[in-house]
Amino acid sequence: MIDIAPNHKYGLSLKGPVMPAAGTFGFGDAYPNLVDLSLLGALVTNPVSLRRRRPARGRRLAVHRDAFVVHTGWPNPGVRTVVRDFREIWAHLPVPVIVHLLATQPGELAQAASRLSGLSNVAGIELGFTTGVSPRLAVDLLDAAREGDLPVIAKVPFERVDQLAPHLARHGVDAVTLMSPPRAVLPLLSTDPQMPIARYLRGRLYGRALFPLLLNALSRWAGKLGCAVIACGGIASPEEALACINLGAAAVQIDALLWRDPWLLNEIARGVGAPQPLTKTEAEAALREEYNGEETL
């Protein structure tokens, strides 16, 4: 068992280190015939807000080779409806549920977190911060999420890892997810040969190219925050998941790559369960040897 919230009075124990990232796996009803939930450590839900959010207008996806940008607006029916529709499903899942809450306003977040208290098999909250959140507001949001009396995980934006991760750790967050995907822009191609690029889409960037950026963040912060770290970003194989664990991640989340290949969750969960990962000291030594002394961790 892996306890990613050992300092919380309830803890948050996982039987394995692999889980889907928020926004990739619905509310527990997705991929029923493709993913064996019993292989996972937990299920992280789609993002949820206090009130209903509508989808973003216009095009929501732009693809360029192996990278893609997504702008959805995080549509969801609101926490009351989500709890009503899925509480029974959650109660009977073979793994604990971590509800991902959109962290924008402390008052709304406190109400949403309170609605999750006491629900069977709901074991934790993951906070999704906006890129522009200030350190002070981030702490206020963390305090608001504690109204629900569940362990709280902070998913830190890529652009703010160095600032927010240690700050939230000092204020007692139970675990940190590194990281929310960076913001990026891709062109939207048109069918008009006179104007092949009609406009651009700004949104969250996904793809395998995020993986080296994730390893860089882990090498800087895993094992140094005083709380568990969950790795998220471009992980596409058991070997890549183990590379994150080698650098000190307690668990890993598989992100929007699942949209292309849901079976990836089974593959990674089975693969991570077999080999024995390196210790963090061994991993750091291997990296130093690979860089031939030019860069150290």
Please compute, for residue 285, the number of CA atoms within 13 A of its CA located in the half-sphere on the CB side. Answer: 5
In a domain, 296, yes or no: no
The answer to whether residue 195 is domain-embedded is no
Decide if 66 is inside a domain: no
Percent of the chain, pLDDT > 90? 78
Q: How many domains are contained in the chain?
A: 1
State the average pLDDT over residues 204-212. 95
Region 79-97 average pLDDT: 97
Query: Is 82 among the domain residues?
Result: yes
The verdict on residue 87 lying in a domain is yes
Whole-angstrom Cα distance, residue 232 to residue 241?
9
Residue 15 belongs to what domain range? 2-61+71-183+207-290
For the chain, give the mean pLDDT: 91
Please state the rounded mean pLDDT for residues 91-113: 97
pLDDT value at residue 290: 47
The whole-model pTM stands at: 0.90
Whether 189 is covered by a domain: the verdict is no
Which of 18-22, 60-64, 219-223, 285-289 shows the lowest mean pLDDT across its residues? 285-289
Average pLDDT, integer, range 183-195: 79
Residue 190 counted as domain residue: no
Rounded CA Rg of the chain: 19
Q: Is the pLDDT of residue 279 over 90?
A: no
CATH code for the domain of 157: 3.20.20.70
To which H or E segment does residue 151 belong? none
Identify whether 45 is part of a domain.
yes
